[in-house]
Amino acid sequence: MAAANGGVPDPAQQRIAAAIAAYVARPHPVALCCGIQHYGWGDHRFIPELLGAPAPAAAPQAELWIGAHPDLPAAVCLRPAKVPLDRLIAAAPEALLGTATVQRFGNALPFLFKVLAAATPLSIQVHPNRDQAARGFAREDRLGLALDDPKRCYRDRNHKPELLVALTDFHALRGFRPLEEIQAELARWPSLADLATRLDGTTDGLRRLYADFMRLPQPAVDALLGPVVAQAHRRAPDPTEGRADPGTDPPTDPEQARCHWLLQAHRRFSPAGHYDRGLLSLLLLNLLHLRPGEAIFLPAGALHSYLAGTGLEVMANSNNVLRGGLTDKHIDVEALLEVLHLDPHAPEILTPSIRADHAGWHSYEPPVAELALHRLRLAPGATAPLQPGAAMLGLVLDGAVELRGSASRLRLKRGGSCLIPAGGALCISSGEGADVALATTPAGVVSPGAVGA
């Protein structure tokens, strides 16, 4: 690439081009340097401790992004330069992603891998399907909204189904509760009793109720939710009293737990003298407590919020979020209602499938084509063969590993992440024992039979 000063080559770009050319000639597992999103709801300890950085961090560290999304692509640690992962993949998509992945998804990594660490609730939100994302992206382009405009909901044209696997106790809201539960819940709050009478036992009736509430002017929202917050204070302990971190250890009683999260969300998000309309979702949605290793899947249109905890996320390669409350970011009620899918039922909590030939190999394969997640636990001195049929992104959660190919060797310690290109037989081993997460597509064929101690 030429510089602006008379066409003189840019040395930095020359180094990047040379690094890409050398890697494309011999693809192999390579370390990644990944970026962190400092959202206000983030935790100050988990991600820095995982990465071996000082903790607590000065700023909240909400998400570690391991992927190639243009909003925050990982850097591939090549010599003589670091190269953005999306740029490296664009230079040799078939060699890195695999032919089947390119034929199905094009020349881009189809998934995004994250570590999520939440100290306080995230926004009430929903993600679009692929058609909705394409229309929304085009609409916001026509409005002249830049990709980094804070009022923009659609950052790309892709859908965003996602899988979350808990690493610690994890609390979340996911999808509307069964209709009879919602009606009984609303009836328990005197200021909401009229809403309960409007439910007619149908999903359409719930949709009308939710849409009408979300469109209410703020004074009407305050009149409904003010008494709810006051009553919640009487029903549950103060979520901040005596707690260094109010996002941990909610009450075990289900009713008190809902009050706990409602009060915490109110303290965090309601403007002075008012009540955030997202508080109603604390009563309408299923409240889940995931134990480590348990997971939930979020298809397009599922209303949800993560309340507290740490987990691994794998999603389609998208950053599209439509918010309906509990946030300082842009809220677009009409855009949210446009993509909202109501299916009121108690959601399934997922557990991994475990390989018969290796009890340390746990797999999560949600019903989408873009993503799957595997966790490999290696005993001290153990070795496992690996035959990736698609690109993999790896993260060492504990211990240390070595990845050996026919002409390559990569060592990673706790917190280290890597790109494993498609094809080529590898062995992954650990002298001290390790816990490794591997994100890929369902076509990422693996051979996890382990040998060794």
Catalytic residues: 323
> How far is C-alpha 82 from the chain's CA centre?
25
Spatial distance between the Cα atoms of 187 and 196, rounded to a whole number of angstroms? 6
Cβ atoms of residues 92 and 17 within 8 Å: no
- Bridge partner residues of 438 (DSSP): 374, 394
- Residue 28: helix, strand or coil by DSSP? coil
Cβ atoms of residues 184 and 177 within 8 Å: no
What are the DSSP E strand ranges found in 177-277? none
Torsion of CA 304, 297, 264, 325, to 10 degrees: -20
- Tell me the DSSP string of 256-299: HHHHHHHHHHHHHHSPTTS--GGGGHHHHEEEEEEPTT-EEEE-
- Bridge partner residues of 166 (DSSP): 311
What are the DSSP E strand ranges found in 267-381? 285-290, 295-298, 304-316, 322-323, 353-355, 358-364, 372-378
Q: Other CB atoms closer than 10 Å to residue 245's CB: what's the count? A: 13
- If you search the block for the tokens 């409904």, which residue do you land on? 224
Cβ atoms of residues 447 and 428 within 8 Å: no
DSSP H helices, 120-164, are: 130-142
- Residue 379: helix, strand or coil by DSSP? coil
Read off φ and ψ for residue 429, nearest 5 degrees. Answer: -135, 165
